[in-house]
Structure 1
Amino acid sequence: MQNTYYNLLMSGNEEAWTGTSWAMECSRVFEHTHDDVKRPFAALDDVALGSLMSFPTIFAYEKYLRASARVGRITEVTRRQSEFAFTFAFDPTVSPIPYDTFMALLRELDIESKREVNRSHWAVKNVDLARVLYGAGLTSSPTLQPQARPPRVFISYSWDSPEHRAWVAQLASSLRHDGIDVILDQWHLGLGEELSAFMVNGVRESDRVLVICTEQYVRKGQERQGGVGYEQMLVSSQIMRHVGTNKFIPVVRQTTGVAPALPDDLSGRMYVDLSDGPNAHVAYRQLVHDLHNIRTPLPPLGPRPAAL
């Protein structure tokens, strides 16, 4: 089954496939999909979504944008009230497909050349995508490999000031641009939703947690004040259950003192300093590499020196 189906995600938003996540209205799912193809997945339950995520995916733009398409995988799907939110990863072995090349392949890809390329939707096609790409000289292999889910990161911080909130949002935007799926209250927490549940799910379901350590955050955490105090209790409980975990990363943003202040539960841990200064950019790149688990390669081990 995995070799004979693929997903088509078509969007009219020019920024849709520039990050690692997007959302599609529920009413647009299975548009331009044959009934026989749709039937096994029509329930859209966990089993059906798991099957759909196992298929390769074309991420395309509507015709008027004349933009290149990408190939990859849907790595996670979240059901919301009126839409499906999903994260995705591009296949590094498949280069972007130029607009003219993509349009020339519409028939082989079972994409209708008039209405379908002018409509944002999620379709499923009974086509061996790997074979089509290989036949067009776009890949060097007739198979496509699964793609890893982007790292998911939850940001814990205090609302020190409007300027600090904007700084945190900018950090989150930069991380998303660098392929990291960030969970941030400013984006993911709606009015009327339960703050404690958001915190619990964010800490529990993320791969890493960035703890933005301003002086005010550290003070509130130590005094167990408000949301910061609650998040610090969550951090403490996870550290106690998983001794030695590196899930929580202290991110320092401070203006006073030589030695940065850290919450008690995170003291003694390696931190990254993103305080304003000439080294902030280097520290940010270090953070991105760590979140992607990119390690500095060890130099080769040389032979034992001869006796003097």
Structure 2
Amino acid sequence: FQLHHGKFHELDQENLDKLIGILRPQYRKSLDAGVKKNKILPARSPIEANNKNIFSKEESCELPENWNEIYNRLFELIDVKNDPATYFSGPRFIDVVKQAKAYFPDYWQYISAREADGKSTTRKLYYHDILKELNISERKIVLDKILKIVEPYDKERVDEINSLLYGLSLKKNIETEIAQKKLIVFISYSWDDESHKSWVLNLANKLINDEIEVKIDRHMMRLGSPMTFKMEQAIEQADKVLIIFTPNYKLKADNRKGGVGYEYSILNSKLYENQKRTI
């Protein structure tokens, strides 16, 4: 597919759709890769089997099949002793439990009772026992409160735990993130004449109207700005580089003349790194 002043000259919607179709495919790949990378639901979890979250069962103390993974992730999250914001000591953990179950023993009462029964007072073991003994609604309150406290400090891992708890698909979040991230396109062209410059600027504006972020010298030019640095930066940031190839562009590129020559020198090295990036 060639972008030139032949059939493409009028920039009608059909031709624009063809161009945008070439520019955008990587976003579908990014989505698929992101979903695959972040797929953390167990293959045979009750979430997938019943399409429900783990708290949707009748009131009981039953633990979900993926409970060990949920708990291990949770404890790892709240066991960083040098981080007072996320670390849950015994008293702090039990204070949260008491918000779900008002008459639960306080810390020293609970520890004394475990010692009397010959049970371990290791935090990881007794936190697990406490959560196991709560009914589903109480356990939900405790987990939600802990995760809400920790979320501002480690949102990624909290999201992973929530996806296990509630069956939240990360695919929707990734789709939203990709949709919000605009495709960045750098346009490289030569200043052949005013008609050509207007044509290129018109193309840039049409791409911008289609929610594509366009990097082009006419937009980057500011009095006193180092244009060579801005060119390098724009090319580096771009997802795609669109070359408007004309005889004059080729002449300047071959002779490394002017802005085109400088851009082409950069693009030539980048082309070997990623040939799919340049159109």
Verify same fold: TM over 0.5.
Answer: no
In proportion to residue count, which structure has more helix?
A: 2
The TM-score normalised by the length of structure 1 is 0.33
The structure with higher relative contact order (CA 8 Å, sep 6+) is 2
Tell me which structure has the larger Cα radius of gyration: 2
**Going by fraction, where is strand more abundant, 1 or 2?**
1
